[in-house]
Structure formats: structure tokens, C-alpha cells
């Protein structure tokens, strides 16, 4: 069989499994893959003619799944689901500006700046806020500029093709640190296995925990909810602006600032705009990173949850503590881990993904070929998860969505109902309690 982008087109893009990581575009030696638009970053042929059938685009694509060390562990084992790691910490940047303007504790930004200042790397890959909405809502940048790194703080929950930098890295001689989502770093790892030059240039990989990314429609939808016309939008100030959990905040051309609470934004976007691939994703803790970072959980404090996976990560954290740049505290003790975001992500991402993928497989629908983790899964969770999955497929249908968004209050109510309220429904809670009572091993229920 000829191995080229046609496989990706059929099995990934047309099967709605592309996470827009950008790696196929970045690795193509003939540059014959491009993005359909710089809005939704769907990859497409720019010219089939130049293709040399090298198959590299297939080799790097993470969409159909990849192996994870956590797959050897029981699905109910909290720390086992993290994959390989040395320690788990909570921590924060001691620089006040970074800590108060970052997504959570500002550890990502502090580490990037340290790596540059101590000359571990010459450039870093970040996702930068754009000053003008004409340049897109955010952009992937390779930089050594501290101002740009500071301007890149805060998570942007839209798809951004970090993997496209493979081409730039291949053609430059600098050592690089890269920040990316789990699928993006898995693609970078696949690229490193194929191209030794990528392996030798990328010196440090910072992974972000990841629940979902949204299609770029999400911005349009948020503007509708905030009653802002797109033509009046100057820029997105941030997705997590102003404290915990923060607000989706925009600046209009006349200087007005408008904000929508993160909780509202999140429930609407997860319900209506999350990528199909994200609902089938099991690598939520970024196993292919040197260090993985997430929110601590419960919006308790401006701290980052840190999973250090390699000796290099341990060394950098220790040096930064010594230099008073960060403060960290080990929370490896599994009792404390239960109070963090980790069990929530295991339930919402790993277990539900396993349920959905099994369901799609039983229907012969092309899905992600993850290994199945052993362990018992609550039957109520199975029903709830499949019900919500099928409902969100319906709600993401453009005709249905358009009807709901005719009334912004309807969109808010439906979004919150699907994302938060259904699992809190009194009937579902009662059934979960009953199930727990009659099950022999109580621990199997998360
Ligand atoms: C799409 C997305 C989903 C996430 N989902 C979860 C979740 O479900 N649970 C959880 O605990 N944590 C999640 N996180 C991680 C969390 O939001 C924080 O990024 C993490 O806590 C680190 O915080 P920080 O203050 O150290 O980062 P900061 O110092 O604020 O630095 C953030 C860094 O993230 C990079 N970045 C921002 N957006 C993107 C993007 N779209 N793609 C690649 N890089 C980007 C920027 O370049 C910047 O360097 C998610 C992050 C993203 C981007
Ligand atoms: S040249 Fe190689 S990487 Fe590019 S499209 Fe063809 S097969 Fe894919
Ligand atoms: S490599 Fe990334 S962007 Fe390309 S098809 Fe696969 S998931 Fe999509
Ligand atoms: S949920 Fe998974 S597929 Fe989606 S962006 Fe995050 S890591 Fe990629």
C-alpha cells in the first residue's frame, strides 16, 4: 500500500479524529501538506504532485493512538494512571507578576525563562497571544524573547498546531524547549524517532494536562454570548484572566473590556465545540513530557500541579528552588493526590474515553486504537458517559447548534446541564450510591 497523506485524509481527517497538532505539516519534507485555513488548522494537500510517498506524515500522526506506560496499570490506580514519574509536587513561581498573570502557578513560564537564562536552550516554543485579531486568535512562536514568553502566559483552549515547528527546528541549529499538549508532544516524540536532528535539538519537553481543545467556532460563540460583534473585537486578552479560575476576557476596538466567567465558557465549549478526538483521548497527563503540569484542582490556590518524569526535570526544579525562583512541595503521598485534579481527570478522561472507544468499536466506527486498561468500571458511569457522548454528538450538529444559539440563555442552560448538572442529578447520584453499596470492592468506583 502506498503510504502518503491520502491515508491521513481518509483515516484521520475525514474520520473526525484529527487533533490539529500540526505535526504532519511540520514533518513533510516536500512541504506538500498545508492547513486549510489559519482558523481551523485542518491539514490538507497543497499539491499531491510533489509527494514522495515517504510516509512520514503517517508515522508522526498521534490521532489513531499510541502506547502509554500507564496502560500497564489498573484503571483505578490513581498514581499508576500518571505513567512514568519521579515525583509529584504542587508549586508556584515566586515572581509576583508571573504568579498572578499565569494560568495556575506560573511554573511553565518560570521554567521556560530559567532554561533560557541558564543557557540550557537558545529558543522556546510557546503559544502567544496576538495583538490584532487579524493575526488569528493566538499563534505558535519559536522565540528567545522574554517579553514574548510573558505574553504567552495562560492556556488558550483552542486548537493550535504546535507540531508545525518541526520544520523550523529541523532547519535551525539552536537547542529548543517546547510546551505542548499531550497529543502534540506524542507527535514530537514520534518525529524524534524518525529524525535524529529533532531528537538532538529538543532538550526539554513541558507537557500540559489536557481535557479538551475547542474548534475556533468557540470564539464566535463566546462573542455571541457576550453580545460582542466580531468586527468590534480587537483581541483576546486571555482565557483565564483575573484570578482563579478566571474569565474569558476580550478587548474591543474602542478599548472596552468584556469578560465571561471561565466556568460558563468551559461548560458551553465542552458541550458544543470540543474536538471529537478530544472526547476519545486518554493521554490527559502528557506522558511524553519531561515534566507535566496542570491545575491543582478545586480552584483552591494559584499553584501548579507538577509531575516530574525525568532526572533532567528533577535537576531543573532543584536548581530553581535553590535560586528562589519557585517554591515546590512534594505531594506524592496518594492520600493527597486524591484531593487534586488527578482523580477527576481519570474519571472524566481516561475511564470515559475507554467506555466511548469500546462503544465505537462495537459499532465498527473508526476510532482511536488505545490499549484498554484493566479494572472495574461503574455501570452507572458507563450509561451516563455514553448518554452524554451521544447527546454531545447531536448538539454539535451545526443545524441543532444554530437553533440553540439563537437564544444565548438556552445555550448557557444546555451547556451547563450537559457539562455539570447531569452527573449531579439526584437520580444519577442515588443510583451511584446504590451501586456502591452492592459492589464488593468499594474502591473500584471513582
Ligand atoms: C487546551 C488546554 C487544556 C487544558 N486542560 C487541563 C485540564 O483539563 N486539567 C488541568 O489540570 N489542566 C489543564 N490544562 C493545563 C492548565 O490550564 C495550565 O496550563 C497548567 O496548570 C500550567 O499552568 P501554569 O500557570 O504553570 O502555565 P503558564 O505559566 O500560564 O503557561 C502556559 C503555557 O501554556 C502554553 N499554551 C497555552 N495554550 C496552549 C495551547 N493551546 N497549546 C499549546 N500550548 C499552549 C503557553 O505557550 C504558555 O507557555 C490545559 C491547558 C490547555 C492549553
Ligand atoms: S512527502 Fe511524505 S510526508 Fe509529505 S505528504 Fe508525501 S508521504 Fe506525507
Ligand atoms: S499529524 Fe496532527 S494535524 Fe496531522 S492529521 Fe494527525 S492529528 Fe491531524
Ligand atoms: S484532549 Fe487529547 S487530543 Fe485533545 S488536544 Fe488534548 S491531548 Fe490532544
Sheet hosting strand 233-241, strand order edge to edge = 233-241, 247-252, 257-261
Question: Do 287 and 381 have their domain in common?
Answer: no
Tell me which residue of 40, 45, 13, 10 sits closest to 30, measured CA to CA. Answer: 45
Per the structure block, which three cell numbers stand in for 4? Answer: 502518503
- pLDDT of 292 strictly over 80: yes
Question: Do 300 and 378 have their domain in common?
Answer: no
Per the structure block, which three cell numbers stand in for 418? Answer: 450537559
Residue bearing the CA closest to ligand 3, atom 5? 18
DSSP element (H, E) containing 110: helix 107-117
Cα separation of 324 and 7, whole Å? 50
| Segment 58-108, tens digit of pLDDT | 999 999 999 999 999 999 999 999 999 999 999 999 999 999 999 999 999
pLDDT band for position 342 (50/70/90)? very high
- pLDDT of 438 strictly over 70: no
Residue 4, ligand 2, Cβ within 6 A: yes
What percentage of the chain has pLDDT greater than the value 70?
94
Domain ranges, residue 212: 69-337
Q: What is the pLDDT of residue 288?
A: 98
| Segment 124-134, tens digit of pLDDT | 999 998 877 66
The average pLDDT across 177-188 equals 98
H-type alpha helices, 226-351: 262-272, 311-322, 334-337, 342-345
Cα separation of 47 and 19, whole Å? 22
Q: What is the pLDDT of residue 108?
A: 98
Cα separation of 160 and 181, whole Å? 10
Residue 24, ligand 3, Cβ within 6 A: yes
Residue bearing the CA closest to ligand 2, atom 2? 54
Measured from CB, residues less than 6 Å from any atom of ligand 4 are 19, 181-183, 210, 212-213, 275, 277-278, 281, 283
Contact call for residues 7 and 56 (beta carbons, < 8 A): no
Residue at which a domain ends, from 297, 319, 337: 337
For the chain, how are helix, strand and coil distributed in percent, rounded to 5? 45, 15, 35
Task: Report the separation in Å between the CA atom of 313 and the middle of ligand 1, taken as the mean of its atom positions.
Answer: 18
pLDDT band for position 432 (50/70/90)? low
Q: Which of 79-88, 161-170, 400-409, 417-426 has the lowest mean pLDDT?
A: 417-426
The one-character DSSP state at 64 is: T
Question: Do 229 and 281 have their domain in common?
Answer: yes
Question: Do 87 and 101 have their domain in common?
Answer: yes
Per the structure block, which three cell numbers stand in for 199? Answer: 531528537
Ligand nearest to the CA of 29: 2
Residue at which a domain ends, from 60, 80, 102: 60
Q: What is the pLDDT of residue 1?
A: 79
Question: Do 186 and 92 have their domain in common?
Answer: yes
Q: What is the CATH number of the domain that holds 53?
A: 3.30.70.20
Q: What is the pLDDT of residue 425?
A: 60
Q: What is the pLDDT of residue 379?
A: 87
The total number of residues written for the chain in this structure? 446
**pLDDT higher at 198 or 133:** 198
Residue at which a domain ends, from 337, 356, 381: 337
Work out how many domains the chain is built from and give that number.
3
Ligand nearest to the CA of 194: 2
Question: Do 166 and 257 have their domain in common?
Answer: yes
Residue 33, ligand 2, Cβ within 6 A: yes
The average pLDDT across 216-232 equals 93
Query: What mean pLDDT is reported for the chain?
Result: 92
Q: Indicate the top mutation candidate among 2, 29, 191 to test ligand 2's pocket, ranked by most ligand atoms within 8 A of CB.
A: 29
pLDDT band for position 443 (50/70/90)? very low
Atom of ligand 1 nearest to the CA of 156: 38
Q: What is the pLDDT of residue 422?
A: 62
Task: Look at the block and give the residue holding cell 481551523.
Answer: 40
- What residues form DSSP beta bridges with 179? 206
Task: Report the separation in Å between the CA atom of 62 and the middle of ligand 3, taken as the mean of its atom positions.
Answer: 7
Question: Do 35 and 84 have their domain in common?
Answer: no
Task: Report the separation in Å between the CA atom of 378 and the middle of ligand 1, taken as the mean of its atom positions.
Answer: 30
Using the CB atoms, write b or e for 20-56: b if 16+ within 10 Å: bbbbbbbbbeeebbebeeebebebebeeeeebeeeeb
Atom of ligand 2 nearest to the CA of 45: 5
DSSP element (H, E) containing 35: strand 33-35
| Segment 248-266, tens digit of pLDDT | 999 999 999 999 999 899 9
Q: What is the pLDDT of residue 442?
A: 41
Q: Indicate the top mutation candidate among 108, 127, 155 to test ligand 1's pocket, ranked by most ligand atoms within 8 A of CB.
A: 155
Residue 53, ligand 2, Cβ within 6 A: yes
Measured from CB, residues less than 6 Å from any atom of ligand 1 are 102-109, 126-127, 152-157, 160, 162, 179-181, 208-211, 213, 293-295, 304, 341
Tell me which residue of 190, 239, 181 sits closest to 211, measured CA to CA. Answer: 181
Using the CB atoms, write b or e for 184-213: b if 16+ within 10 Å: bbbbbbbbbeebeebeebbbbbbbbbbbbb
If DSSP states are collapsed to H, E and C, what string results for 412-436?
HHHHHHHHHHHHHCHHHHHHHHHHH
- The bridge status of strand 247-252 relative to strand 291-295 is unpaired
Using alpha carbons, list the distances in angstroms from residue 7 to 11, 30, 61, 240, 368.
6, 17, 11, 38, 15
Question: Do 39 and 117 have their domain in common?
Answer: no
| Segment 21-62, tens digit of pLDDT | 999 999 999 999 999 987 789 999 999 999 999 999 999 999
* pTM score of the predicted model: 0.95
Question: Do 286 and 165 have their domain in common?
Answer: yes
Question: Do 148 and 246 have their domain in common?
Answer: yes
Task: Report the separation in Å between the CA atom of 280 and the middle of ligand 4, taken as the mean of its atom positions.
Answer: 9
Atom of ligand 3 nearest to the CA of 22: 3
Question: Do 220 and 309 have their domain in common?
Answer: yes
Q: Which of 161-170, 181-190, 234-243 has the lowest mean pLDDT?
A: 234-243
| Segment 352-400, tens digit of pLDDT | 999 999 999 999 998 999 999 999 888 888 988 898 888 888 999 989 9
- The bridge status of strand 291-295 relative to strand 43-45 is unpaired
Residue bearing the CA closest to ligand 4, atom 5? 213
Question: Do 196 and 273 have their domain in common?
Answer: yes
Residues with Cβ within 8 Å of 334's Cβ and at least 6 positions away in sequence, in order, are: 78, 79
Cα separation of 409 and 396, whole Å? 17
Q: What is the pLDDT of residue 135?
A: 73
Cα separation of 280 and 357, whole Å? 7
pLDDT band for position 206 (50/70/90)? very high
Q: What is the pLDDT of residue 130?
A: 87
Amino acid at each position: 500500500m502506498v503510504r502518503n497523506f491520502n491515508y491521513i485524509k481518509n483515516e484521520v481527517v475525514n474520520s473526525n479524529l484529527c487533533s490539529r497538532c500540526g505535526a504532519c505539516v511540520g514533518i513533510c519534507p516536500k512541504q506538500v501538506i498545508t492547513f486549510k485555513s489559519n482558523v481551523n488548522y485542518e491539514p490538507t494537500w497543497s499539491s499531491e504532485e510533489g509527494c514522495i510517498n515517504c510516509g512520514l506524515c503517517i508515522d508522526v500522526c498521534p490521532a489513531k493512538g499510541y502506547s502509554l506506560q500507564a496502560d500497564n496499570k489498573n484503571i483505578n490506580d490513581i498514581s499508576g494512571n500518571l505513567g512514568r514519574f519521579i515525583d509529584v509536587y504542587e508549586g508556584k513561581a515566586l515572581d509576583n507578576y508571573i504568579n498572578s498573570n499565569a494560568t495556575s502557578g506560573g511554573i511553565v513560564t518560570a521554567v521556560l525563562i530559567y532554561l533560557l537564562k541558564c543557557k540550557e536552550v537558545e529558543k522556546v516554543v510557546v503559544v502567544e497571544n496576538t495583538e490584532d485579531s487579524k493575526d488569528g486568535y493566538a499563534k505558535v512562536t519559536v522565540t528567545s524573547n522574554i517579553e514574548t514568553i510573558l505574553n504567552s502566559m495562560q492556556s488558550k483552549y483552542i486548537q493550535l498546531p504546535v507540531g508545525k515547528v518541526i520544520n523550523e527546528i529541523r532547519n535551525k541549529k539552536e537547542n529548543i524547549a517546547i510546551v505542548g499538549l499531550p497529543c502534540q508532544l506524542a507527535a514530537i516524540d514520534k518525529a524524534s524517532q524518525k529524525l535524529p536532528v529533532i531528537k538532538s535539538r529538543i532538550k526539554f519537553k513541558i507537557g500540559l494536562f489536557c481535557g479538551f481543545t475547542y474548534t475556533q467556532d468557540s470564539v464566535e460563540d463566546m462573542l455571541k454570548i457576550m453580545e460582542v460583534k466580531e468586527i468590534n473585537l480587537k483581541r483576546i486578552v486571555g482565557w483565564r484572566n483575573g484570578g482563579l479560575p478566571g474569565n474569558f476576557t476580550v478587548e474591543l476596538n474602542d478599548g472596552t473590556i468584556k469578560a465571561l466567567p471561565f466556568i460558563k465558557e468551559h461548560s458551553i465549549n465542552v458541550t458544543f465545540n470540543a474536538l471529537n478526538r478530544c472526547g476519545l483521548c486518554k493521554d490527559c497527563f502528557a506522558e511524553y513530557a519531561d515534566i507535566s503540569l496542570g491545575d491543582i484542582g478545586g480552584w483552591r490556590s494559584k499553584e501548579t500541579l507538577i509531575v516530574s518524569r525525568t532526572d533532567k526535570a528533577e535537576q531543573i526544579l532543584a536548581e530553581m528552588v535553590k535560586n528562589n525562583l519557585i517554591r515546590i512541595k512534594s505531594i506524592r503521598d496518594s492520600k493527597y493526590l486524591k484531593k487534586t485534579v488527578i482523580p477527576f481527570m481519570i474519571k472524566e478522561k481516561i475511564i470515559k474515553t475507554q467506555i466511548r472507544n469500546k462503544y465505537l468499536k462495537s459499532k465498527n466506527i473508526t476510532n482511536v486504537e488505545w490499549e484498554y486498561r484493566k479494572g472495574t468500571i461503574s455501570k452507572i458511569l458507563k450509561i451516563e458517559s455514553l448518554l452524554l457522548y451521544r447527546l454531545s454528538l447531536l448538539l454539535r450538529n451545526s443545524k441543532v447548534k444554530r437553533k440553540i444559539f439563537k437564544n444565548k440563555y438556552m445555550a448557557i442552560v444546555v451547556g451547563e446541564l450537559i457539562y455539570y448538572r447531569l452527573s449531579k442529578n439526584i437520580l444519577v447520584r442515588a443510583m451511584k450510591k446504590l451501586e456502591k453499596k452492592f459492589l464488593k470492592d468499594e474502591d473500584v468506583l471513582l
